[in-house]
Structure 1
Amino acid sequence: MRLVVTGASGNVGTAFLRAVRSSHPEWDVAGVVRRPPEPDAGEPYTGVDWHAVDLSSPRAEERLRELMSGADAVVHFAWAIMPSRDPALLETVNVAGSRQVFRAAAHAGVPHLVHMSSVGTYAPVPRGRLPKPVTDESWSNDGIPTSLYSRQKAAVEHLLDEFDGHGFFETVSRVRPGLVLQPDAGAEIGRYFVGLWAPAVRLVRGAVPVLPLPSGLVANVVHADDLGDAIVRIVDRRAPGAFNIAADDVVTPEVLASAFRARRVPAPYAALRALVASSWRTHLQPTDPGWLDLARGVPLMDTARAKSLLGWAPVRSGADALASLVAAVGHGTGGDSPILAPR
Structure 2
Amino acid sequence: MRVVITGASGNVGTALTRRLLEAGEYDIVALARRIPDHVAVDGPQWVSVDLSSRDSGFVLRRVIRGADAVVHLAWGFQPSHQVPYLEAVGVGGTHRVLDAIASVGIGQVVHMSSVGAYAPKRGACPVDEHWPVEAVPSSSYSRHKVAAERLLDSFEESTNGTAVTRLRPGIIGQRSAGSALLRYALPAFLPAKTIGAVPVLPMPAGLTIPIVHADDVADAIVRVLRQRAGGAYNLAAAAPVSAAMIAEALGARWVATPARLVRVLMAATWWARLQPVAPGWLDLACAVPALDSARAERELGWAPVVDAETVLRETIAGMRHAATGITAVLRQRTVLGELSDLIRRGPVSHRRQP
Q: TM-score under structure 1 normalisation? A: 0.93
What is residue 181 of structure 1 aligned with on the other side? 173
Say whether residues 1:159 and 2:151 are aligned partners: yes
- Structure 1: distance between partners of 2:129 and 2:189: 36
**Residues 122-271 of structure 1 aligned to structure 2 (within 5 Å):** 122-126=118-122, 129=123, 132-196=124-188, 199=191, 202-203=193-194, 205=196, 207-271=197-261
- Classify 1:204/1:98 alpha carbon distance in 2 versus 1 (closer, same or farther; 3 Å): closer
Say whether residues 1:3 and 2:23 are aligned partners: no
Q: Deviations over 1:208-249 (max 9, x none)?
A: 454222112101011111111111111111111001001112
320-329 vs 309-318, which deviates more? 320-329
Task: Give the superposition deviation at 1:327.
Answer: 1.8
Query: Equivalent residue of 1:300, what SS?
Result: coil
After the TM superposition, which parts of structure 1 deviate over 3 Å for at least 4 consecutive aligned residues? Answer: 207-210
- Structure 1: distance between partners of 2:17 and 2:161: 24
Say whether residues 1:63 and 2:59 are aligned partners: yes
What is residue 274 of structure 1 aligned with on the other side? 264
- Structure 1: distance between partners of 2:148 and 2:160: 16
258-267 vs 98-107, which deviates more? 258-267
- Structure 2: distance between partners of 1:172 and 1:336: 30
Query: Equivalent residue of 1:195, what SS?
Result: coil
- Structure 1: distance between partners of 2:49 and 2:61: 12
Q: Deviations over 1:14-50 (max 9, x none)?
A: 011111122x21210101111111225x5xx952011
- Structure 2: distance between partners of 1:192 and 1:102: 28
Task: Give the superposition deviation at 1:263.
Answer: 3.0
- Classify 1:300/1:197 alpha carbon distance in 2 versus 1 (closer, same or farther; 3 Å): farther
Task: Give the superposition deviation at 1:7.
Answer: 0.6
- Structure 1: distance between partners of 2:150 and 2:202: 37
Q: Which amino acid aligns with 1:15?
A: A
- Structure 1: distance between partners of 2:33 and 2:21: 22
236-245 vs 321-330, which deviates more? 321-330
What is residue 319 of structure 1 aligned with on the other side? 309
Q: Deviations over 1:138-158 (max 9, x none)?
A: 111112111000000000001
RMSD of aligned residue pairs (Cα, Å): 1.5
- Structure 2: distance between partners of 1:261 and 1:244: 30
Q: TM-score under structure 2 normalisation? A: 0.91
What is residue 86 of structure 2 aligned with on the other side? 90
Task: Give the superposition deviation at 1:204.
Answer: 5.1
82-91 vs 257-266, which deviates more? 257-266
Task: Give the superposition deviation at 1:167.
Answer: 2.6
The sequence identity of aligned pairs, in percent, is: 45
Unaligned runs of 5+ in 2: 334-354
Task: Give the superposition deviation at 1:56.
Answer: 1.4
Q: Which amino acid aligns with 1:28?
A: D
What is residue 110 of structure 2 aligned with on the other side? 114
Unaligned runs of 5+ in 1: none
CA contact (8 A) 1:64 1:101 kept: yes
- Structure 2: distance between partners of 1:209 and 1:93: 37
